[in-house]
Amino acid sequence: MSQKYSEDTGYVNIHGQDVKVLVCDKTGRILIPIDEVREMGFRIYRKNQYSRLLIDDKQFDREFDLFMLQAAQTYMLEKKIAFNEHTVIDSIQKKPKTVINADGSPQFINGQDDKKRRLNMQNQVKLSHVGLNNPEHTILVTHVETSAPFFWAQDTENSETLLEIDAKVKEEAEKNKQICDFLLNKVYLAQHEGLWARCKVIKFKPLKVFFIDYGNIGEVTEIKEASEELAKYPCQCVKLKLEDSSMKPNDFETLRVKVLNKHENGTYTVVIAETDDAFFSKPQPLCQLQHGQRVMIISQRDGKLALRTKECYDKLKQVEQALAEVTSKPLSSVKKDQLVLFSRNSNLQRAVVTNFQENKVELELLDYYDKVKVDLSSISNITESLAKEPISYLVTPSVKGLSDKTAEIVQNLIETRAKSTVVLNGDEFDLQLGKDLLSDKLKPPPGESHQKRTMLKDMTRFKPKLGVGEYILNTFRNKDKLTIGCNDAIESHLDHIIKTELDDNQPYEPITGEICFGSYLDSWSRCVVNRTMNSRYEVEFIDFGNVEILKGDQLRKLSDDVKNTPILGIPCRLIGLPHLSNVDELLKQIVVEGDSYEINIKQLSGDHYEVEVPALIKNLRESV
Q: Are residues 465 and 537 in the same domain?
A: yes
Torsion of CA 383, 384, 385, 386, to 10 degrees: 50
- The C-alpha atoms of residue 572 and residue 603 are separated, in whole angstroms, by 10
pTM: 0.41
Nearest to 187 by CA among 224, 147, 216, 156: 224
Three-point CA angle 24, 27, 28, nearest 5°: 55
pLDDT tens figures, 337-371 = 999 999 888 889 999 999 988 889 999 999 999 99
Residue 404: inside a domain: yes
Instruction: Supply the CATH number for residue 236's domain.
Output: 2.30.30.140
Domain final position from 240, 262, 284: 262
Note the pLDDT tens digit of each residue in 530-569: 998 877 899 999 999 999 999 888 999 998 889 989 999 9
Domain boundary among 377, 392, 412: 412
Q: Give the residue from 351, 377, 412 where a domain finishes.
A: 412
476 and 575 share a domain? yes
Whether 460 and 609 map to the same domain: the answer is yes
Same domain, 163 and 254: yes
Q: Are strands 237-242 and 268-272 parallel, antiparallel or unpaired?
A: parallel
| Pair 463, 591 in one domain | yes
Most confident of 105-109, 264-268, 524-528, 603-607: 524-528
pLDDT above 90 covers a percentage of the chain that reads 44
What is the span of the domain harbouring residue 33? 5-99
Average pLDDT score over the chain:
83
For residue 196, what are the β-bridge partners?
191
Q: What is the pLDDT of residues 570-591, one digit of tens each?
A: 999 999 999 888 999 999 999 9
Residues 367 and 222 in one domain: no
Label residue 312 by pLDDT band (50, 70, 90). Answer: very high
Selection from 50-54, 90-94, 540-544 with the highest mean pLDDT: 540-544
* Assigned domain for 248 exists: yes
Confidence band, pLDDT 50/70/90 cuts, at residue 76? low
Q: Is residue 427 part of a domain?
A: no
Strands 570-574 and 608-612: parallel
Mean per-residue pLDDT for 220-243?
92
Nearest to 527 by CA among 454, 609, 624, 425: 454
